Structure 1
Amino acid sequence: MSPTELNDYIRRLSSCRFVGCILKSIGDIYISVRAIIFLFYFFTRHKRKYEKKYTNEIYLVNFLY
């Protein structure tokens, strides 16, 4: 293998078609999974907080009546 072929091979390996795309897709998957986990955590915390507040108001209304 001549040096020019070797350079071409290295360039082809480091191009987006091979290594770059794999790394990029892994990064995208990682980011999307973290975003989904964050959103799920955020919504469950907010829902719990809302339910707590709502049940307190229901108890207050029942107590007043």
Structure 2
Amino acid sequence: MTAVFNGRIEKGSILVTDSLRAYQNVANDSEVTHVRILKVKYNYGSFNVEPINVDCSELKKAGSWQFQ
């Protein structure tokens, strides 16, 4: 996963992810602050994964429509 994100995340940024462990390696390699939101929660303070989930869902819908 690090190869996918390499050079795309600015050092010192905040990376907000779900609880997938692979993101921790990305955060360490990219020198960013990592905020993990556990599966049983959908937010951590002011960070919320729901807008990201909605965007991903919309992209999946658009992609599946295009290839039907």
Higher helix share: 1
Q: By percentage of residues, which structure has more strand?
A: 2
TM-score bin, normalised by smaller chain: 0.3 to 0.5
TM-score computed with the length of structure 1 as normaliser: 0.35
Report the TM-score, using the length of structure 2 for normalisation: 0.34
